[in-house]
Amino acid sequence: MKTFPRWMQCLTAASVMTLTACGGGSQTAGIDGSGAPSPGVSAGPINAFGSILQNGRRYIVDGDTQVLIDDNPSTSDLLEVGEFVVITSSSIDDSGNPIADSVTQETLLKASITSIDAVNQRFNALGQTVQVRANTVIDTRFISAVIGTDFDRLEVGDGVEVSGYIAADGVIIATYVGYEDNVSEPRVIGKVSNLNSEALTFEINGLVVDYNTASLSSLPDGMLANGVSVRVRGSLDGDILEADEVKGFSSGFDDLDDGSEAELKGVITEVSSSSLIAVNGIPVSIKAGAEFSGGNAGQLIVGAIVEVEGIWSEGGILADEVEFEQEDNVRINGQITAISATNLTLNEGAISALGLTLVSNTSTSYEDNSEADEELFGLDDLAVNDYVELRGFKSGDTIVLTEVVREDIDLPLVVALRGTVTSTTPNTSLTILGVPVDVSSSDFEDDASAFFSAITIDSSIVEVTGSYNGSLITAEEAELVLED
């Protein structure tokens, strides 16, 4: 097997694949044809295909791109939206798109689910806690789920492959949960603790690992130590993971030359000050005058999801841009009534449904769960009357799309809308984001009076399901969303 440089590996894991794309000739690296250097390394979840859209850019994956999946050369059929990938690039095509030199992934966790916490949207596998979030992509091979309850696709005993971020407390924040029918060789990535060099055991978040017969490789100074990040493969003996292989992991950025551009999306794992943090364990120094979007320096807290962009400098990222991931508080299930495009290559445009228009951009995730099952799925594959699930957030007067999922149409057609209540007529109707909703015949968790009395205009979020006649939603169910 070909040996790949250490900087191609990443602690936060994902899945990748090769996608063949038609690109022009190679030029000096640049962004949007500017000639400015493109990122030396970009790490984050995949938003869409064609070739790979990640962190707001389209990376061309061609026949010269080196692809490594779980330490093995791989092919394009294993890539899924939501999986975390590390991309290196040093040139652009004739359209100004960065060309990927390498794409690397590692699965954070492969095991069977042993318990599920539906209230907190968490599950446990191999002793590891996995947090599922609103924008976590869940494999369609799990059992079918009803509208708005993707988490319910998961069951105890299901085999999973998890991609995402490792939080400061060791909890895995999933960006993708894949179905895996063979978990006879479980694996996990995490930090060594409670190392016992005599018994040849250590722990990863409480999971006991026995490495008596394991091969050790890529470890700092060739030795295991507490705090070192490792990937472990092996087999279960009761609650103990009998390791066949223990391999060290770097951040994926460590061998970059100073001055190389770097982009990273992940979870804040440490905050030393308003200008010094760590994302996925990687030091990030925020420049004075850095551009913030979606938040400010006062919102830099452990556990927040951010994307940072800058250059690699003295063992960390010197960031001049920080973007906070926004909470999805708008959700729509319904048929598309209009589509407009400004740049189909980057999925830039707008989608209208249920009387609302949502704006798509390069960070919008696209997934096809319909029978068409388009692998290279994006804005240009959608059509009026397609049934979709749309998720996004309000930014001023604009609703920004974060996720688009196309589904098959089931009859009778059911629509759903979640968003902020903008007006009410007690016990009979309300408007959500300006869309009128008749709730006179709705089922409420308590009763209509209690439901309406709990609503604060322009603040409370309500979700309704029912039918739509082109101008009015007739709700069969209405629920006040206390926490999103």
The CATH architecture to which 415-481 belongs is Beta Barrel (2.40)
Q: Which amino acid is at 306?
A: V
Is the Cβ–Cβ distance between 174 and 163 less than 8 Å? yes
pLDDT of res. 12: 35
Per-residue pLDDT band at 434 (split at 50, 70, 90)? very high
CA atoms of 32 and 52, how far apart (whole Å): 15
176-216 pLDDT tens trace = 999 999 999 999 999 999 999 999 999 999 999 999 999 99
- What percent of the chain has a predicted confidence (pLDDT) above 90? 70
- What percent of the chain has a predicted confidence (pLDDT) above 70? 90
Read off the tokens for 167: 């939080």
- Looking at 294-327, which runs of residues are DSSP E strands? 305-313, 316-324
CA atoms of 390 and 67, how far apart (whole Å): 31
pLDDT of res. 13: 35
248-297 pLDDT tens trace = 987 778 778 899 999 999 999 999 999 999 999 999 999 999 999 999 99
pLDDT of res. 16: 32
Q: Which CATH number fits domain 109-179: 2.60.120.260, 2.40.50.140, 2.60.120.10, 3.40.47.10?
A: 2.40.50.140
Q: Which residues pair with 249 in a beta bridge?
A: none
pLDDT of res. 24: 36
pTM summary value: 0.82
Read off the tokens for 34: 């500017």
pLDDT of res. 35: 44
CA atoms of 238 and 228, how far apart (whole Å): 25
- Please state which CATH class domain 261-324 belongs to: mainly beta
DSSP state of 317: E
Its sign, for the CA torsion 144, 149, 150, 155, is: negative
Its sign, for the CA torsion 195, 198, 199, 200, is: positive
Q: Which residues pair with 443 in a beta bridge?
A: 477
Helix (H) / strand (E) containing 417: strand 415-425
Angle at 431 between CA 429 and CA 435, to 5 degrees: 120
pLDDT of res. 148: 46
CA atoms of 428 and 416, how far apart (whole Å): 18
HEC per residue, 73-111 = ECCHHHCCCCCEEEEEEEEECCCCCEEEEEEEECCCEEE
> Residue 248 contacts by C-beta under 8 Å, 6 or more apart in sequence?
217, 218, 219, 220, 228, 229, 230
Is the Cβ–Cβ distance between 244 and 235 less than 8 Å? yes
HEC per residue, 130-171 = EEEEEEEEECCCCCCCCCCCHHHHCCCCCEEEEEEEECCCCC
Residue 437 has pLDDT above 90, yes or no: yes
* Helix then strand then coil, % of the chain, to nearest 5: 5, 50, 40
393 conformational bin, left if phi > 0, alpha if psi -120 to 50, beta if neither: beta
DSSP state of 31: S
CA atoms of 383 and 373, how far apart (whole Å): 15
374-406 pLDDT tens trace = 888 999 999 999 999 999 999 889 999 999 999
Altogether, the residues listed in the chain come to a count of 484
What's the mean pLDDT when you consider all of the chain?
A: 88
Mean local confidence (pLDDT), 476-482 = 89
Coil, strand or helix at 298: helix
pLDDT of res. 321: 97
Is the Cβ–Cβ distance between 393 and 330 less than 8 Å? yes
Residue 19 has pLDDT above 70, yes or no: no
Is the Cβ–Cβ distance between 334 and 35 less than 8 Å? no
Residue 37 has pLDDT above 50, yes or no: no
CA atoms of 408 and 427, how far apart (whole Å): 34
pLDDT of res. 317: 96
Is the Cβ–Cβ distance between 354 and 415 less than 8 Å? yes
75-112 pLDDT tens trace = 666 778 899 999 999 988 888 889 999 999 899 999 99
Residue 238 has pLDDT above 70, yes or no: yes
Residue 247 has pLDDT above 80, yes or no: yes
319-362 pLDDT tens trace = 999 999 988 899 999 999 999 999 988 899 999 999 999 999 98
Residue 119 has pLDDT above 60, yes or no: yes
Q: Give me the residue spans of the domains in the chain.
A: 6-105, 109-179, 187-248, 261-324, 330-407, 415-481
Residue 47 has pLDDT above 50, yes or no: yes
Q: Which fold has domain 187-248?
A: OB fold (Dihydrolipoamide Acetyltransferase, E2P) (2.40.50)
> Residue 69 contacts by C-beta under 8 Å, 6 or more apart in sequence?
15, 16, 17, 78, 105
Angle at 422 between CA 416 and CA 428, to 5 degrees: 70
Per-residue pLDDT band at 39 (split at 50, 70, 90)? low
Q: What is the per-residue burial (b if ≥16 Cβ within 10 Å, else e) of 236-265?
A: beeeebbbebbbbbbbbbebbeeebbbbbb
- Nearest C-alpha neighbor of 64 from the set 32, 33, 93, 30: 93
Mean local confidence (pLDDT), 8-20 = 33
The structure tokens 């009026």 sit at 384
Q: What is the per-residue burial (b if ≥16 Cβ within 10 Å, else e) of 345-366?
A: ebbbbbbbbbbbebbbbbbbbb
pLDDT of res. 5: 30
Q: Which fold has domain 330-407?
A: OB fold (Dihydrolipoamide Acetyltransferase, E2P) (2.40.50)
User: Is it true that 187-248 and 415-481 share their CATH fold?
Assistant: yes
